[in-house]
C-alpha cells in the first residue's frame, strides 16, 4: 500500500534546524500534500511558522498528534523518535526518521535514495524508514559510485563537521562567539561549554569502549548496512570545525580492483547528486560555504594515492550541506520514493 | 668548530609572525648571545621592536647585513633564504632556515632536535640547517616515537591548519572577517581572496603534477628525509581551518610490527616534547587553542584502528603551535644543539 498521492504530513521537531529545512524543501520541491501539521515540544507549541504564504501554528507533540497522518517526518532526537514513532505507525503513518533511534534496526531500511532507494520497492507501510547519519550521507554519496565500480577494500575518513549537526542552538552559539570576539568580550559558552570560534575539537559524542566516539561508530556501521557489506574496512576520525552548516571530509580509499584517477573522475561526474569541483589550476575545490544551500554533494581533490600500488588507492575531499542532503533533503527524497514508487524521480 | 658560547645573532624576517616568536623564545629560554641584529625588508626597516626591555631598531636586509654574525635565523620565505643564506654563510655564519629553500638539499640537515638532533654532532660550520615544514614537525613529533618502536608501514594524514602558517597578514585577515561578520559587513578579502571565517578550504599552495599540493608533497618528502627511510608510505590531505595559530592533524598509522594501543600510549607519554591529552570520559582531547603558546605537541584520540588486523594500526589526533614547535621553537632548539653540542639540553 503506497502512500496516498497527497498525504497528510506531520513534522515532529518543526522548529529545529532540520525541521525548518524540511518545510523549505517540501515547498521548493512542491511536494504534494493535503495537510501539514507542525509538532514540537510544549516549549515551542503555540509559536507560528510561515510556510508558502500561510502562518502555521506549532502544536504540542502528544500521543494524539498522529490522527489521520499518512507521513510523519521525525527530527527531534532519538528519544522522541523512540517514544513517538511507534505511536505514529500504530495510527497508520509512514515515519521517516532523521534520528539514530532505528537506523541499525534490521527491520528498518536505512536509505540514501540515489544509492539504495530500490530497497523501498518492497517497503511494507506503515513502517519506519531511517535517514542515515549526516556525515555518512555526505561521504557515501561520493564514495558509493566508486565502490560500485571496483569495490572499496578500506576507507580512512577524517571529518570537518559543522555546528548545524548539533542543531540551531550550536549555530547561534558559534555566531555569538564571533560577536563576542569582535566586541572584546569573553566567549559566551552557556550552550557550547567551550570556545568554538577559531578552534577545532573532537566530535562531542560520547566515547565507546573501543575508543571511537558514537559519531564515528555510526558512520562505520551505517556504511556497512547501506552497502550491505560488512567486510569493507572503515576507520573514521570525527572533528568539529567552526563552520555553520556544511560537513566536509577527507577520504582515503583502497580499492579491491584497480581504478585510474581519470576513471574515478568520470564516474563521479556521472553520479547523481554529486558535483565535481576539482580545478587544480585555480586551486578551487569543495568548500563548506559553497556546499551550503546546495542539494549536490561536492567532491574534489580527486587524486591517486601514491602510497598505494598504482590505481589501487585514491584521495578525495567532499563537502555537503548537513541540513539538506545530510538530513532534510534526503528525508524528502525518501518520501518521494514512497509516494511515487515505483516511478521515482531521483 | 661549534658556535661561540655567546654568538652574535641576526634574525631575518624579524617583523613577521615567526620572527617575533623567535625573539620571544630567545628571551624565554635566556638563549646566550652577545648581540642581536633584526633584519627585514626595506618596508619594515626603521621600525622598532621591544626585546628584553630594550627597543631594537629593525635594519634593512642587505648583502652587508651579516658582518660578524655567528648565527642567522631566516624566516622571510624561500626566495629571501635562497638569496641571502649563501651570503651569510660566506661571511662565516651558521644559518638556521625556517623556509623550504634548502630542506631537500642533500647537504643540508633537516632537523627536529628531539628526533634527529644527533645529526648535528657532525655538522660542519658555517652551513645551513633547515627547520622542517610546520605541519610535518607537529605530525612527526607524535609519530616518530611509534616509528622507532615498531616501524611505520603507512601513514594517512589529514590536516587542520591554522592561519599563522601563511603569516601575520592571514591571522589579521581572519580576525578582520570576524569583525566584518559581527558588524554585518561583507567579508574583507583583500589579503585572503576568499571567505575564511566559518569556512575550510584545501591548502593554498600550488598543485603539482601528481595532484598533491606543495604542502602535502613537503610533508611526504620531509618525513622520508628526517626518518632516513624512503620506504615509508605516506599520503596527506592539507586543509586550512579558521584557527589562528596551532595546526592539528588526524593521523592513521599502519605498523610494521604489532603495537597495542596501551603500549603506544606509554611510548607517547614518555616522548620528549609530547604531551598526551586523552581523556575519554571528559571528552577532552587536543585542541588548537590549548596548544597555542605551548612548547609541547599535544596528542590524543589514541585508539586502535579496528579496520586493520589487531595491534597493526592506530589513530591519533595531534595539535601543535605552528609558530612555536612548528617554527621558532624548533629553530632555537637547533641553535641550542649547535652552541652546546655535544651536551644538548633537549
pLDDT in tens, A2-18: 789 999 999 999 999 99
Pairing type for strands A35-40 and A8-12 reads: parallel
CA angle B287, B293, B299 (to 5 degrees): 35
Q: Do B252 and A237 count as a contact with CB atoms less than 8 A apart? A: yes
* C-alpha–C-alpha distance, residues A273 and A146, integer Å: 14
Contact of A320 with chain B, judged by CB distance below 8 Å, is answered with no
* C-alpha–C-alpha distance, residues A96 and A334, integer Å: 8
Contact of B182 with chain A, judged by CB distance below 8 Å, is answered with yes
High-pLDDT (> 70) share of chain B, %: 98
Spatial CB neighbours of A156, under 8 Å, sequence gap ≥ 6: A235, A236, A251, A252, B156, B252, B307
Mean pLDDT score, A227-247: 98
Higher pLDDT, B289 or B343: B289
| Residue A341 reports pLDDT greater than 70 | no
Contact of A308 with chain B, judged by CB distance below 8 Å, is answered with yes
Q: Do B233 and A174 count as a contact with CB atoms less than 8 A apart? A: no
Closest chain B residue by Cα to residue A242: B198
Q: Do B250 and A241 count as a contact with CB atoms less than 8 A apart? A: no
* C-alpha–C-alpha distance, residues B282 and B285, integer Å: 9
| pLDDT tens digits, one per residue of B54-76 | 899 999 999 999 999 999 999 99
Contact of B233 with chain A, judged by CB distance below 8 Å, is answered with yes
Contact of A287 with chain B, judged by CB distance below 8 Å, is answered with yes
Contacts of A160 in chain B (CB under 8 A): 160, 200, 239, 241
- In DSSP notation, B155-190 reads EEEEEEB-GGGG-HHHHHHHHHHHHHHHTTPPPP-T
What is the least distance, in Å, from the CA of B179 to any CA of chain A? Answer: 5
Residue A346 pLDDT: 46
Mean pLDDT score, A269-284: 98
C-alpha cell at B253: 598509522
Spatial CB neighbours of B24, under 8 Å, sequence gap ≥ 6: B328
| Residue A342 reports pLDDT greater than 80 | no
Contact of B5 with chain A, judged by CB distance below 8 Å, is answered with no
Mean pLDDT score, B312-327: 98
| pLDDT tens digits, one per residue of B248-284 | 999 999 999 999 999 999 999 999 999 999 999 999 9
Nearest to A242 among B201, B242, B305 (CB): B242
Q: Which CATH superfamily is domain A135-322 in?
A: Dihydrodipicolinate Reductase; domain 2 (3.30.360.10)
Cβ–Cβ pairs < 8 A, chains A and B: 165
A241 φψ region: left (φ > 0), alpha (ψ -120 to 50), beta (else):
beta
Residue pair B166/B214 in contact (Cβ under 8 Å)? The answer is no
C-alpha cell at B219: 610533508
- For residue A213, give the DSSP letter: B
Residue B344 pLDDT: 45
Residue B144 pLDDT: 98
Contacts of A301 in chain B (CB under 8 A): 202, 211, 237
**CATH class assigned to A8-132+327-340:** alpha beta
Contacts of A287 in chain B (CB under 8 A): 199-201
Residue A264 pLDDT: 98
Alpha helices by DSSP H, chain A: 17-28, 78-90, 113-116, 134-150, 168-182, 214-227, 261-270, 288-291, 329-340
Closest chain A residue by Cα to residue B211: A303
Query: With bands split at pLDDT 50, 70 and 90, how would you rate the model's confidence at A122?
Result: confident
* C-alpha–C-alpha distance, residues B75 and B140, integer Å: 21
What is the least distance, in Å, from the CA of A115 to any CA of chain B? Answer: 23
What is the least distance, in Å, from the CA of A105 to any CA of chain B? Answer: 23
Mean pLDDT score, A231-256: 98
Query: With bands split at pLDDT 50, 70 and 90, how would you rate the model's confidence at B126?
Result: confident
Q: Do A315 and B285 count as a contact with CB atoms less than 8 A apart? A: no
| pLDDT tens digits, one per residue of A72-109 | 999 999 999 999 999 999 999 999 999 999 999 999 99
Spatial CB neighbours of B131, under 8 Å, sequence gap ≥ 6: B96, B97, B98, B111, B137, B327, B330, B331, B334
C-alpha cell at B25: 623564545
Contacts of B204 in chain A (CB under 8 A): 283
Closest chain A residue by Cα to residue B292: A199
C-alpha cell at A24: 523549505
**A130-159 residues touching B, CB cutoff 8 A:** 154-156, 158
* C-alpha–C-alpha distance, residues B126 and B119, integer Å: 15
Taking Cα atoms as reference points, which of A47, A43, A46, A35 lies closest to residue A11? A35
Contacts of B221 in chain A (CB under 8 A): none
Least confident stretch, A168-172, A301-305, A336-340, B310-314: A336-340
**Residue ranges covered by each domain of chain B:** 8-132+327-340, 135-322
Checking ipTM against 0.90, whether it exceeds it is yes
What is the least distance, in Å, from the CA of A272 to any CA of chain B? Answer: 24
Contact of A118 with chain B, judged by CB distance below 8 Å, is answered with no
High-pLDDT (> 90) share of chain A, %: 94
φ, ψ (nearest 5 deg) of residue B262: -70, -35
Query: Which of A157, A158, A220, A282 would you mutate first to test chain B, the one with the most B CBs within 10 A?
Result: A158
Taking Cα atoms as reference points, which of A174, A197, A195, A235 lies closest to residue B301? A235
Query: With bands split at pLDDT 50, 70 and 90, how would you rate the model's confidence at A340?
Result: low
Query: Which of A179, A183, A199 would you mutate first to test chain B, the one with the most B CBs within 10 A?
Result: A199
Mean pLDDT score, B140-159: 98
What is the least distance, in Å, from the CA of B199 to any CA of chain A? Answer: 5
Mean pLDDT score, B340-345: 49
H or E stretch at A92: none
Contacts of A313 in chain B (CB under 8 A): 235
Whole-angstrom CA distances from B91 to B1, B131, B336 are 15, 21, 21
**A251-270 residues touching B, CB cutoff 8 A:** 252, 261
Quote the strand ranges of chain A, DSSP E.
8-12, 35-40, 48-51, 54-57, 59-60, 71-74, 94-97, 127-130, 152-160, 201-202, 233-237, 239-240, 246-255, 274-276, 297-304, 313-321
**A198-217 residues touching B, CB cutoff 8 A:** 198-202, 204, 206-207, 210-213
Active site residue A134: yes
Query: With bands split at pLDDT 50, 70 and 90, how would you rate the model's confidence at B343?
Result: very low
High-pLDDT (> 70) share of chain A, %: 98
Q: Do B250 and A261 count as a contact with CB atoms less than 8 A apart? A: no
Catalytic choice (A238, A247, A248, A337): A247
Residue A291 pLDDT: 98
Nearest to A210 among B178, B242, B303 (CB): B303
Pairing type for strands B274-276 and B297-304 reads: parallel
- For residue A88, give the DSSP letter: H
Mean pLDDT score, A27-36: 96
Mean pLDDT score, A44-68: 94
φ, ψ (nearest 5 deg) of residue A79: -70, -40
DSSP-derived 3-state class of residue B312? coil
Nearest to A280 among B197, B201, B207 (CB): B207
Closest chain A residue by Cα to residue B252: A156
* C-alpha–C-alpha distance, residues B276 and B300, integer Å: 6
What is the least distance, in Å, from the CA of B214 to any CA of chain A? Answer: 12
Residue A344 pLDDT: 45
| pLDDT tens digits, one per residue of A289-320 | 999 999 999 999 999 999 999 999 999 999 99
| pLDDT tens digits, one per residue of A286-295 | 999 999 999 9
Average pLDDT, chain A: 96
| Residue A124 reports pLDDT greater than 90 | no
Query: With bands split at pLDDT 50, 70 and 90, how would you rate the model's confidence at A1?
Result: low
Task: Report CA B38 to chain centroid distance, whole Å.
Answer: 21
Amino acid at each position: 500500500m503506497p502512500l496516498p498521492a497527497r498525504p497528510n504530513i506531520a513534522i515532529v521537531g518543526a522548529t529545529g534546524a532540520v525541521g525548518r529545512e524540511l518545510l523549505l524543501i517540501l515547498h521548493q520541491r512542491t511536494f504534494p500534500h493535503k495537510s501539514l501539521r507542525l509538532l514540537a515540544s510544549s516549549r515551542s507549541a503555540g509559536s507560528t511558522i510561515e510556510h508558502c504564504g500561510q502562518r502555521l501554528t506549532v502544536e504540542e507533540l502528544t500521543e494524539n498528534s498522529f490522527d489521520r497522518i499518512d507521513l510523519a517526518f521525525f527530527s527531534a532526537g532519538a528519544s522522541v523518535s523512540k517514544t513517538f514513532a511507534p505511536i505514529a505507525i500504530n495510527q497508520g503513518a509512514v515515519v521517516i526518521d532523521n534520528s539514530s533511534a532505528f537506523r541499525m534496526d534490521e527491520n528498518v531500511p536505512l536509505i540514501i535514495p540515489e544509492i539504495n532507494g530500490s530497497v523501498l520497492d518492497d517497503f511494507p507501510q506503515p513502517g519506519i524508514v531511517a535517514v542515515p547519519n549526516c556525515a555518512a550521507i555526505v561521504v557515501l554519496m561520493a564514495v558509493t559510485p566508486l565502490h560500485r565500480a571496483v569495490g572499496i577494500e578500506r576507507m580512512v575518513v577524517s571529518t570537518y563537521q559543522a555546528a548545524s549537526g548539533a542543531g540551531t542552538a550550536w549555530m547561534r552559539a558559534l555566531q555569538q562567539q564571533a560577536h563576542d570576539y569582535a566586541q572584546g568580550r569573553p566567549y559566551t559558552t552557556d550552550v557550547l561549554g567551550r570556545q568554538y570560534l577559531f578552534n577545532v575539537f573532537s566530535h562531542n559524542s560520547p566515547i565507546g569502549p573501543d575508543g571511537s566516539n558514537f559519531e564515528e561508530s555510526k558512520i562505520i556501521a551505517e556504511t556497512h548496512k547501506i552497502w550491505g557489506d560488512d567486510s569493507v574496512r572503515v576507520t573514521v576520525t570525527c572533528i568539529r570545525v567552526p563552520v555553520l552548516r556544511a560537513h566536509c571530509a577527507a577520504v582515503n580509499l583502497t580499492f579491491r580492483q584497480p581504478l585510474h584517477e581519470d576513471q574515478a573522475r568520470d564516474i563521479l561526474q556521472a553520479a547523481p547528486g554529486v558535483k565535481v569541483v576539482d580545478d587544480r589550476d585555480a586551486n578551487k575545490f569543495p568548500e563548506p560555504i559553497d556546499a551550503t544551500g546546495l542539494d549536490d554533494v561536492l567532491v574534489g581533490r580527486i587524486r591517486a594515492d601514491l602510497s598505494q600500488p598504482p590505481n589501487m588507492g585514491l584521495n578525495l575531499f567532499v563537502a555537503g550541506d548537513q541540513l539538506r542532503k545530510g538530513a532534510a533533503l534526503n528525508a524528502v527524497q525518501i518520501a518521494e520514493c514512497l509516494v511515487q514508487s515505483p516511478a521515482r524521480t531521483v
